[in-house]
């Protein structure tokens, strides 16, 4: 039971991303937030890894490009422009995107359970994005784009049979931070000096949300298994919604609450193991 409680800490930390941005980092350039998050977490993990990854560096760079560099930029833009509950729920559509990509691109036929969960989730997203909600279009596109990047990286990780999870993740963060550094400088000028009110948010994102959260997630997948951990990841959008309401005074309409319920319901359907069924393929991700 202790292993499950510890495993739940990772999605809880990831669900706090939007509140951390809303409370401490709204006046900091978004690209530089992504740079410090990637580089800071990479350097922190390197203190424990202290070696190169046990994988071709070109593949590590490609994974880092999708999984960290583009993902962090899109995620940060979404966090700056959307209510945390909305952004968190859109990010929780990862299993749905994986089903659609594997079906449409890889020609892998999904199960009836997978189709059902995808349809429920898509209806939920449509309710979440109803016109009366007046959501920021760029923020919505970035949230969905960030989830798509994770889906691509997840499929590449599976295809390349990545085994050195921690080493590869560390160098993904370092490569991506180095890649984003000149991009951030080009578009948003020289790196800003963090002010005192930025420090709590940066420390939370770099150390707890990214580095510690990932270490807990790696251990959790080994201890409780990927399917159980996938179920625990439902805490991510729930935490994002609760923190947005309590700390940022965000309000959601009834249609949006219905959309969130359907998205979470679709994830439950996708992860339920029916009696007599063979073990289902896991969906693993980090935010």
Reported as a single tens digit per residue, the pLDDT across 149-160 is: 988 887 887 788
Helices (H), the chain: 2-15, 17-20, 30-49, 57-64, 71-81, 84-91, 94-104, 112-128, 137-159, 165-188, 199-203, 213-224, 226-232, 235-247, 254-271
Query: Is the pLDDT score of 183 beyond 70?
Result: yes
In this prediction, residue 275 has a pLDDT band, given cuts at 50, 70 and 90, of low
Cα 64 to its chain centre, rounded Å, is 14
The whole-number pLDDT of residue 135 equals 82
Q: Is 247 exposed, middle or buried (0-12, 13-18, 19+ CB in 10 A)?
A: middle
With contact defined as beta carbons under 8 Å apart, do 166 and 45 qualify?
yes
Comparing CA positions, the residue from 72, 90, 271 lying closest to residue 176 is 72
Measured between alpha carbons, how far is residue 92 from residues 3, 41, 207, 239 in Å?
23, 23, 22, 12
Question: How many CB atoms within 10 Å of residue 194?
Answer: 17
Tokens of 174: 């370092």
pTM assigned to the model: 0.78
The whole-number pLDDT of residue 280 equals 44
Query: Is the pLDDT score of 283 beyond 60?
Result: no
Q: Which residues contact 198 (CB under 8 A, 6 or more apart)?
A: 24, 25, 28
DSSP state of 26: T
The whole-number pLDDT of residue 250 equals 79
């Amino acid at each position: 039971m202790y292993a499950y409680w510890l495993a739940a800490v990772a999605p809880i930390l990831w669900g706090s991303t939007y509140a951390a941005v809303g409370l401490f980092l709204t006046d900091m350039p978004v690209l530089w937030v992504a740079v410090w998050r990637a580089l800071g977490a990479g350097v922190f993990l390197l203190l424990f890894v202290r070696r190169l990854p046990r994988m071709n560096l070109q593949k590590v760079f490609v994974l880092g490009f999708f999984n960290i560099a583009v993902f962090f930029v899109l995620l940060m833009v979404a966090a700056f422009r959307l209510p945390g509950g909305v952004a968190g729920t859109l990010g929780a559509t990862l299993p749905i995107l994986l089903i659609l990509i594997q079906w449409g691109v890889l020609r892998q036929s999904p199960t009836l359970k997978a189709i059902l969960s995808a349809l429920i989730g898509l209806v939920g997203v449509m309710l979440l994005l109803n016109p009366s909600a007046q959501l920021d279009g760029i923020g919505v596109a970035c949230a969905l784009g960030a989830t798509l990047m994770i889906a691509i990286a997840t499929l590449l990780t599976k295809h390349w049979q990545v085994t050195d999870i921690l080493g590869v993740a560390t160098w993904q963060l370092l490569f991506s931070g180095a890649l984003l550094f000149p991009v951030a400088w080009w578009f948003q000028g020289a790196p800003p000096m963090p002010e005192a009110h930025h420090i709590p948010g940066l420390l939370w994102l770099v150390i707890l949300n990214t580095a510690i959260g990932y270490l807990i997630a790696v251990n959790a997948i080994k201890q409780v298994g990927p399917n159980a951990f996938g179920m625990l990841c439902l805490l991510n959008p729930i935490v994002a919604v609760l923190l947005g309401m309590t700390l940022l005074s965000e309000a959601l309409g009834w249609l949006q609450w219905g959309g969130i319920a359907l998205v979470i319901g679709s994830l439950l359907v996708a992860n339920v193991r029916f009696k007599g069924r063979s073990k289902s393929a896991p969906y693993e991700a980090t935010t």
